[in-house]
Amino acid sequence: MHRITVIGGGFAGLTAAVTAAEAGAKVTVYEAHHTLGGRARTAEGPYRTNEGPHALYNGGPHWAWLKQRDLIGPLATIPPLEAARLRLRHRGALRRTPPFAMLKLLRRSARQAPVDVDFLTWATEQAGEEGARAAAHYAAVALFHHDPGALSAAFVQERLRRAAKLPPEAHYPRGGWANVIDRMAARAWNLGVRMETLSRVDTLPTDTPVVVATSLDAARRLLGNASLTWPSGRTALIDLAVRTRRGDAFVVSDLDAPGWLERFTAQDRTLAPAGEQLIQGQIPLAPHESRADGIARAEQLLDLAFTGWRERVTWRREAVASGRTGAVDLPGTTWRDRPGVDRGDGVYLAGDQVAAPGVLSEVSFNSALTAVSLALGQRGRQPLDLKRA
Angle of the 119-139 helix axis to the 153-163 helix axis, nearest 10? 30
Q: What is the pLDDT of residue 71?
A: 96
Q: What is the pLDDT of residue 235?
A: 97
pLDDT in tens, 45-60: 999 998 877 888 998 8
Question: Does the pLDDT of residue 215 top 90, yes or no?
Answer: yes
Question: Does the pLDDT of residue 329 top 80, yes or no?
Answer: yes
Q: Percentage of residues in the chain with pLDDT exceeding 70? A: 97
The answer to whether 223 and 347 have CB atoms below 8 angstroms apart is yes
- Torsions phi, psi of 117, nearest 5? -125, 145
Question: Does the pLDDT of residue 37 top 70, yes or no?
Answer: yes
What are the beta bridge partners of residue 266? none
- What value does the CA radius of gyration of the chain take, rounded to a whole number of Å? 21
Alpha-carbon span 59 to 348, nearest angstrom: 26
The answer to whether 241 and 313 have CB atoms below 8 angstroms apart is yes
Q: What is the pLDDT of residue 224?
A: 96
CB count in 10 Å sphere of residue 164: 20
pLDDT in tens, 3-29: 999 999 999 999 999 999 999 999 999
- Within the chain, strands assigned E span 3-7, 26-30, 56-57, 75-76, 86-90, 93-95, 170-173, 194-196, 210-212, 232-243, 251-254, 260-263, 276-284, 313-327, 342-344, 347-349
Question: Does the pLDDT of residue 301 top 90, yes or no?
Answer: yes
- The Cα-based distances of 286 to 144, 204, 267, 299 in angstroms read 11, 35, 31, 17
Confidence of residue 378 (pLDDT cuts 50, 70, 90): low
Please give the domain boundaries of the chain with CATH numbers for all domains: 3-74+175-229+332-388 (3.50.50.60), 79-167+232-327 (3.90.660.50)
pLDDT in tens, 274-298: 999 999 999 999 999 999 999 999 9
- Is the peptide bond between 167 and the residue preceding it cis, with omega within 30 degrees of 0? yes
Mean pLDDT of the chain, nearest integer: 94
Confidence of residue 158 (pLDDT cuts 50, 70, 90): very high
Question: Does the pLDDT of residue 63 top 70, yes or no?
Answer: yes
Q: Which amino acid is at 273?
A: P
Alpha-carbon span 351 to 363, nearest angstrom: 7
Which of the residue ranges 21-25, 79-83, 84-88, 197-201 would you say has the lowest mean pLDDT?
A: 79-83
**Which is nearest to 20 in space by CA: 380, 370, 389?**
370
Q: What is the pLDDT of residue 381?
A: 40
pLDDT in tens, 185-196: 999 999 999 999
**Which is nearest to 9 in space by CA: 229, 230, 215, 175?**
215
Question: Does the pLDDT of residue 377 top 50, yes or no?
Answer: yes
Question: Does the pLDDT of residue 227 top 70, yes or no?
Answer: yes
